[in-house]
Every structure is written in C-alpha cells, then in structure tokens.
Amino acid sequence: MNNLIDISILVPIFNECESLVILNEQIVKSIADQYTYEIIYINDGSTDDSINILKDIQKRNDNIKIIHFYKNKGKSEALNIGFKKAEGNITITLDADLQDDPKEIHNFIQQINNGFDMVSGWKKDRKDPINKTFPSKVFNLVLRFLSGIKIHDFNCGIKAYKSYVIKTINIYGGLHRFIPILVKSNGFSVSEIIVNHREREFGVSKYGKSRIFDGIYDLITVLFLKKYLNKPLHLFGKWGILFSVFGLCINSFLTWQWITFNFFQQGMPYSINRPLLFFGILLLVVGIQFISIGLIGELIVFLNKRNNYRPDNNEYINFG
C-alpha cells in the first residue's frame, strides 16, 4: 500500500461530550506506539459542548481532524463523509459512547492483514437492556437469511476496512446498518470477530423505537440496490409481464365469449359492464406501466454510467 498513514479512525459523534476526552485517550494509547494514524471525529450537529471539547483535543494532537455538521444528519451521512476523507491504508470505525473498546483495534488490523477486505465486530456479550438486544437479534437473523452473509452483528459500531473498500460504497439514510451487505455485493470479503462490549457510562442511546420501521424501509432499499441497481428492468419487467399475461388471458377469454355468443348463439350473454373485463384491462395497464418504469430505469442506469465513467472509478485494482 502507498499511503503514508497506516490507519484512519472514524468516530461519529452526537451529544457525547462526557466521553470524548476518555475515548480519545484510549484510542491514542492503543495505537500511538504501533502505527501512524489519523483520528477523524465527525460531529453530527451536536447540541452539547462536543465541538468545543473536540477543538481542545485537537490542539494537543496534530493527528486529530474534525468534521463539523451544522445540523444532525445521521450516522450514515457522518460515516459517508468520513470514508471520503480517510487517508489511511486501513480504516476503523467505532462509536463515541465508550461501549466500543479501542483495545480491539489491533485485533481488527490483524484480521485485515490476514486477507479480509472488511471485518465487523460481534457484540456477543452485549451490555444493553433486552429492549435493544432482542430486536437486534431478530434484525440480524433476518439479515443473515436474506443476504446469505454469515455474521452475527451487522450493525456493530466497530468495523475495519481496507482503504479501497470504503471508496466503493455510498451510504445515506440508515444504510450504515447494512454496510456488510453493500461491501459484499461489491465483491469484497467480509469477516467477523468477537469484541468486548462495555456498558454505557454517560448519556443515553440516540436510537428510539422508530428505528425498527426505519430499518425495514432501509432493508428494502438495500435488497433492491443489491440485486437490481444495474438492471431495474429485471424487477419491474418481471411483474409487468406477469400482470400483462394475466390481463391478456382474461380479456382473450371475454373476447372469445363475446364472439361465440354473438356469432354462434352459444354461451352466456356478454355484458360490457362485467367487473372481470375492467380487472383484465387494469392488469394490462399496470403491466405496461411496470415494463415502462423498468425501461426508464435501464435508460437512467445507461446514461449515468456513460456520463460518469472514469478510469479511476475504484471498481477495480490494476496490478500491472
């Protein structure tokens, strides 16, 4: 690797002023004597004194960088900008609430050096109440089934990535919960190690009950992006053809019934007000609309790839 910095540490922050000094000391203690490093704190619109504490920390350490959002944008946006700014050969992410243990950083680096592109933490002995741990277990079980990725904790805050991996993903909304799926779908290897999870010392969790529903919406987004991002017609066309065939069969049956009654005086009298007729027409219209949406999606994908093509688009590594 050509980068001068061994590791980049990314820490998203939202109202965690009590833990920042302790966290920074623990991170520096765990890496300073072994690696060249940068620590990027992303202050996600905190309304407490976090930004001033970060500035004080930065004055004492030239390896500290601060990104400050004027308003809260969410963890995905914070990580996304951090991924773009990170310059280390290996990038580590961890939460600012002190529940992630910086002593684990060396274990993640070892696993990355063993050949994996991404390593995710597994909070096997999680120090959180059951109202957080139980939904998390269900969430992870569903993701393992749908994604085929055999890890236990998709949303663990502490993760490690090779530098080129983070340059290929773009996360927003709540997609930080599904980073292993996005990374795997880009062709990279994903591994997992058990980490020490600590009890929260300060503040409260920033995630409420609404994250369950948000997670469902984001999951649908990820599954769509994973399978159909570059071939939308395969999704919309499939349903469009299905609806169109059913509609065509219904209307063909009604047309044959009209012909046999009016010309051969056989069968049931034909009525234009039959609900089945309108249902058949509806299926045809919806089917054509689905196929049209798929074709428009294919056109957008084609134009986007043509207009944004760059030889250094981070989709491959040239070893020549």
User: Does some domain include residue 72?
Assistant: yes
Q: What is the dihedral of CA 283, 288, 293, 298, to 10 degrees?
A: 130
Residues 139, 205, single domain; the answer is yes
Surface-to-core class of residue 142, CB atoms within 10 Å of its CB (0-12 exposed, 13-18 middle, 19+ buried): middle
Asked whether residue 212 carries a pLDDT value surpassing 50, the answer given is yes
User: Rounded to 5 degrees, what are φ and ψ at 247?
Assistant: -65, -40
Instruction: Identify which has the larger pLDDT, 240 or 226.
Output: 240
Evaluate whether residue 275 is within a structural domain.
yes
Give residue 177's pLDDT.
87
Cβ contact 268:252 at 8 Å: no
Q: Which residues contact 138 (CB under 8 A, 6 or more apart)?
A: none
Give me the domain span that covers residue 298.
Answer: 233-307
The model carries a pTM of 0.73
Q: Is residue 169 part of a domain?
A: yes
Q: Would you say residue 315 has pLDDT above 80?
A: no
Same domain flag for 105 and 215: yes
Residues in the chain: 320
Q: Report the CATH number at residue 53.
A: 3.90.550.10
Half-sphere exposure (Cβ direction) of 261: Cα atoms closer than 13 Å: 11
The closest of 223, 245, 246, 247 to 235, measured between CA atoms, is: 223
* pLDDT above 50 for 318: no
Per-residue pLDDT at 320: 45
Inform me whether the pLDDT recorded for 1 exceeds 50.
no
Number of domains the chain contains:
2
pLDDT digits (tens, 9 = 90+) for 154-179: 889 999 999 999 998 888 887 888 89
Lowest mean pLDDT among 55-59, 62-66, 149-153: 149-153
Question: What is the per-residue pLDDT for 114?
Answer: 93
Which tokens is 193 given?
């190690």
Is 315 inside any structural domain? no
> Is pLDDT larger for residue 81 or for residue 265?
81
Higher-scoring residue by pLDDT: 132, 63? 63
